[in-house]
Structure 1
């Protein structure tokens, strides 16, 4: 009977070993989104711990400082889960070869897996398993070490464009603010070409983020170095600016670039949402209502008119077209922003932590009292 139990344990160890290796290979090697219960469990464990820690917090900045640790901790927890499961699997597999001594089985498995070498094997069967355990420990740690540069290379590519956008759209970013600053910064030259270039850059950025963030889900919750900066809010602001241009000023908008950006933008959001198991409406009703109200849209149009932005249509005429564009991405963007606790920017929905929305910071326009006349071609000041 004892012999049967030991071989049942061996079989259970094989199953745990295969399951854990599948998780490791799927998470660190396979270049596509992989449904991995172990990784999901690690992320859920980290989320549970931080959900308790965030309860007394009442301000966004304190919450951001806390959540900056959540994604790295989920990686640490996942590595620990992998190593413990490998340890358990090899200990169970060693049971038939150590004369029914569970303590010795766990000792040899730990000695080999963590390359300590204090419990050498003395038979052929457990020798093969001990060497396999040593190989497993080295490979898993090496793969994890190689995984981190890949992860942070994608993070750095993402954050480069997000940081560049701060001077164009404020922090946190906002679509109308992007148009306002473009108008003031390029008041004597054609801003259409500049925005067209920006939309082309963000189209490629969205494609890169769609691939990397749906493959490595940890990237979705890795927070930016600055508390008010965020990849999702930045993308939403650029998409809103393109939709505003197409609806308010179709004659001067870089139509092709703006449309391509919007298409790639909501394809990016949908792809990431699918990977995170967030429901997505693929074919939206063009007559549905947006959470953004017409009053909010109208205020943005008034602000654009106040700085001399070339507006071809009234707010009433432009609203149906803007709403039609926004319906494609508003719902999924708001759900993602809620999930990752993005900064409470304007036009970005609600959050779990209820705080006032943060308008973009606008630098004060200060000029020296005895300054020489400025060249208008170099005037890139923001509005007061």
Structure 2
């Protein structure tokens, strides 16, 4: 019986230690079943409430605490699991009962010292437990600045995009606003910034997958919808104006769908790695023409007609549409034009578009 308790305790301690290392220490994508199970379990009741909300703003308020709260719950469950695992080891090397073993393990794990034993076998387990508690807490404390630093950098670009893309953002709105304000020359800089942004998000959100569920400070903003808007703007730019400089636009577009594929790999989402430009997409031509009309109203230059540009736009969008729609559905992103369905039927929020007023005379 003691051998079984010892084996079970070792499995628990080593399993939780593996989860801690994969989540907090390893600087590369490493899936932890423990942390995924915690997040999924915590997510269910909040999502059930959010599904009953009638507005996107109410849904966002319900879902906003889930990801940060999962960090705290994960730490508590790590420590609780370590305490159970060390208690099993304590019981395996002594004649302590369940209550006494838990007290011995808890006293050592949290370095309280109110329960101790002079037995050498127990002392060895106590030393291991005493080292584990502070190390796990210190790692979690060091983990939070890196996590929130990556979140802040992500949200800075999302907030800056609001004046260029509406709120919530929309691909045609980016091109329309730049044409309206005579800022078409700055599009190359925008696409360059979002190429770097996509690379950074791919790195941080695969290393710390919980960031995928961190929501923006305002319910009309979302990192995924912003990325989709920039990618749509790039695809529209390439489809309508083939003779204009394309290098930076193509790089931004490619960085965007590579980012989405990296996130899909972490979440275990299947996708076509080599889609054909002729494959079907969910966005229909009538909806596409509505966006084109918004661009035309504001004077965006178009070398191709919408009919000729549509196949080219489809050929670009097929690379990222399905993944963007799937992730937007999974995280219940703000409903926005050209961003696919959500878990529950919600009115699509049209981008708020201020008029660029200029002095006359």
Task: Classify the TM-score, shorter chain.
Answer: over 0.9
Instruction: Report what 2:209 is aligned to.
Output: 217
Any idea what SS the aligned residue of 1:93 has?
helix
Q: Deviations over 1:265-312 (max 9, x none)?
A: 100001001101111110112211111110111122222222221111
Instruction: Report what 1:379 is aligned to.
Output: none
Instruction: Report what 2:187 is aligned to.
Output: 195
**CA–CA separation in structure 1 for the residues paired with 2:51 and 2:340:** 21
Please report the TM-score for the alignment, with normalisation by the length of structure 2: 0.97
For residues 1-384 of structure 1, the aligned pairs below 5 Å read 5-186=1-182, 191-192=184-185, 194-252=186-244, 254-364=245-355, 373=360
**CA–CA separation in structure 1 for the residues paired with 2:112 and 2:306:** 71
Q: Deviations over 1:3-44 (max 9, x none)?
A: xx1221011111111111011001000011112110111111
* RMSD between aligned residues: 1.4
Could you tell me how far 1:53 is from its partner in structure 2?
2.6
**CA–CA separation in structure 2 for the residues paired with 1:165 and 1:273:** 24
Conservation of the 8 A alpha-carbon contact between 1:95 and 1:102 = yes
Q: Deviations over 1:223-271 (max 9, x none)?
A: 000111111111111111111111112223x300011111111000010
**CA–CA separation in structure 1 for the residues paired with 2:317 and 2:191:** 16
> Would the alpha carbon gap of residues 309 and 56 (structure 1) be closer, same or farther in structure 2, given more than 3 Å must change?
closer
Conservation of the 8 A alpha-carbon contact between 1:98 and 1:104 = no
**CA–CA separation in structure 2 for the residues paired with 1:51 and 1:285:** 35
Any idea what SS the aligned residue of 2:34 has?
helix
Conservation of the 8 A alpha-carbon contact between 1:176 and 1:241 = yes
Conservation of the 8 A alpha-carbon contact between 2:181 and 2:356 = no
**CA–CA separation in structure 1 for the residues paired with 2:305 and 2:86:** 71
Conservation of the 8 A alpha-carbon contact between 1:242 and 1:262 = yes
Unmatched 5+ residue regions in structure 2?
A: none
Conservation of the 8 A alpha-carbon contact between 2:180 and 2:356 = no
**CA–CA separation in structure 2 for the residues paired with 1:127 and 1:43:** 35
Aligned length in residues? 361
Q: Deviations over 1:190-232 (max 9, x none)?
A: x23x111111110010000011111111000000001111111
Q: Deviations over 1:59-83 (max 9, x none)?
A: 1100100110110121122112211
Unmatched 5+ residue regions in structure 1?
A: 375-384
Larger Rg: 1
